[in-house]
Structure 1
Amino acid sequence: MPTWDATLTFFALSVVLGLTPGPDNLFVAMQAATHGRRAGLAVVLGLCTGLLGHTAAVALGLAAVFAASATAFTVFKVMGAAYLAWLAWQAWRAPVGANAGERPPAASWRRLYGRGVFMNLTNPKVALFFLALLPQFVVPGQGPVAAQIAWFGFVFIVATLITFGGITYFAGAFGERLQGSPRAQRWMNRASAVVFAGLALRLATAQR
């Protein structure tokens, strides 16, 4: 198995990557600000579940096959972009006037969790990122390659939980201050719609 020095180095890199502004942490921040901390955490758990899928794909060699297929890349990015565009439409039309601090129903949490899973798994850039990143830390002679990749994938997920959890906490606190104002809620919904639309455009125009 990888040494602790290699693990700590990879963990530090993963934390920096988690805090670097990007589509995923922006997505988490908007969800937490709009729906609350618990809902934001559901999205984070969904994204991390998606990372499990990408880790398995790299460990099993599936990501390499995916990277070589222009058709697969296009299909996945179109699916992801279409889903984000639908989320933008839903956010734009979302009702306002809910009570401050009102907890979303359990079904909403399940939908938000599924939203995180689907967004992550249908983003081909994440698959290619894992394919480029994880093998760099594999050291021959320190155990099976698949096991080392799985380990580093696990470390990346832990770092993501910590960094995105922090983003969720602060974004949720900001959103709670605005939930009592229907006007502020409306602007938050519109801002979420713009973010989703921007992410959809970014993914739709992504190149391998």
Structure 2
Amino acid sequence: MSIDFMLTTLIVVVSPGTGVLYTLAAGLSRGRRASIVAAFGCTLGIVPHMAGAIMGLAALLHTSALAFQTLKYLGVAYLLYMAWNTLKEHGTLRVENDTRAKSSLQVIVEAILLNLLNPKLSIFFFAFLPQFVRADERHPLSHMLLLSGIFMLATFVVFVGYGLFAAAVRRHVISRPRILASMRRTFAAAFVALGVKLSLAER
């Protein structure tokens, strides 16, 4: 494992994306526990993409226009749904007095779907992981699994940090309805922007 891998991983994980947005929304709306559960769900959502990259399934998305476009537009549709749901007063960014109002399973499923329906993640890992495996590596599969585990751990730790920060300012949001309304619009716009970006993605 190299310093280059650690730095690249940190840059990729810290960069705002759908997972970060969802974890922040969970922390703001339902508190610390929900933010940790959301971070866990987003991390689990990485597993199929990493598995696909390791097994070569990402090559199918790269070569098959139909497979890529199908998964891409499912992802776009889900992001637009998240944007619409965020805007609603009782939607994704609803600030709950009862932090258990939404089950952990619901949060995990939503978080997994956000990452699962993004074909660019599979292709990213398909290009990302092999760069850090030497040509003379005796056990390349084991090494890629180790790197994948480190990437997932970094994702979980960073996302938990984002979520706990959001949970810490939650009380200020609850007491200021205008701030909450502005945040709903901002989060919804961010989900739409990510959806547009995904819709324009090429293999």
* TM-score bucket of the superposed structures, by smaller chain: 0.7 to 0.9
1:192 maps to which of 187, 192, 200: 187
1 CA distance for matches of 2:7 and 2:169? 27
Paired position in structure 2 for 1:61: 56
Give ranges in structure 2 of 5+ residues lacking alignment: none
- How many residues are matched? 201
Distance of aligned partners of 1:129 and 1:14 in 2 relative to their CA distance in 1, 3 Å threshold: same
Paired position in structure 1 for 2:74: 79
Deviations along 1:68-122, one digit per CA (max 9) or x if unpaired, are 11111111110011011111111212339x8775313352x32221111111111
The yes-or-no answer on 1:118 pairing with 2:149 is no
Retained in 2: the 8 A contact 1:34–1:185?
Answer: no
Paired position in structure 2 for 1:45: 40
2 CA distance for matches of 1:190 and 1:158? 31
Paired position in structure 1 for 2:98: 102
Retained in 1: the 8 A contact 2:79–2:194?
Answer: yes
Pairwise CA RMSD: 2.3
Give the TM-score normalised by the residue count of structure 1. 0.85
2 CA distance for matches of 1:125 and 1:150? 20
2 CA distance for matches of 1:49 and 1:29? 17
Distance of aligned partners of 1:164 and 1:142 in 2 relative to their CA distance in 1, 3 Å threshold: same
Deviations along 1:24-61, one digit per CA (max 9) or x if unpaired, are 32343233223333222222111111111111111111
Secondary structure of 1:10's match? Answer: helix
Deviation at 1:7, TM superposition (A): 4.9
1 CA distance for matches of 2:30 and 2:200? 29
The answer to which of 197-206 and 76-85 deviates more is 197-206
Deviations along 1:2-34, one digit per CA (max 9) or x if unpaired, are xxxx25542333122222334432343233223
The yes-or-no answer on 1:176 pairing with 2:163 is no
Give the TM-score normalised by the residue count of structure 2. 0.87
1 CA distance for matches of 2:192 and 2:60? 30
Deviation at 1:158, TM superposition (A): 0.7
